Amino acid sequence: EFLCRQKGLDLRWEIHRESILVHSDASRLKEVISNLLQNAVKYTDRGSVCVRTGKFSNKAIMIEVEDSGMGISENHLASIFEPFMQVHKTSTENSRGGIGLGLSIVKKHLEQIGGTINVQSELGKGSIFRIVLPRYYENPKSRARWLHWWTWLRVNTATQRTMPSQPEARQQKAA
């Protein structure tokens, strides 16, 4: 949130009540979301960053990190999760730092906890990184425990907005 304020970006949280409880490896999941948020802020010079959760199915949730940043060209989308891949590193003048491991680590962590990630992006308009996670994932080798999104977000952010559940949102739109 500090970096968003520093850059003049709007940070929005759209957390749906029905999607905020998941049994998974909390440390891996926190690292995944932290990395996606840092990238969104790093590659967005004006506009907004939004974190959104929702029910994907009865057994899975969806988490999206959307930004209005630089975007990623279509020819780079297929390789964005490969190690050492940096789409916007064309010169030291344009470099935003890093060595291109963040998204490959994100993908590896998600695979380890039964999740997936994909990206939609348009150059000059921004990106949406979408994670799908099983509501319950138990790996005997992981430090799996209940991660309650509401609590985690409350602790890790100063301000947040909780959105109504999807049925409540539909009712509000109809009214």
Amino acid at 45: D
List the chain pLDDT tens, one digit each, 175 residues: 777 888 989 999 998 876 667 888 888 999 999 999 999 999 999 999 999 998 888 899 999 999 999 999 898 888 888 877 666 654 444 545 566 788 999 999 999 999 999 999 999 999 999 999 998 887 655 544 445 554 555 555 544 444 444 444 444 444 4
Confidence (pLDDT) at 160: 43
From residue 54, how far is each of 64, 69, 73, 100, 103 by CA, in Å?
9, 23, 27, 29, 22
Dihedral over Cα of 104, 107, 110, 112: its sign: negative
Helix (H) or strand (E) holding 67: strand 60-67
| Model confidence, pTM | 0.75
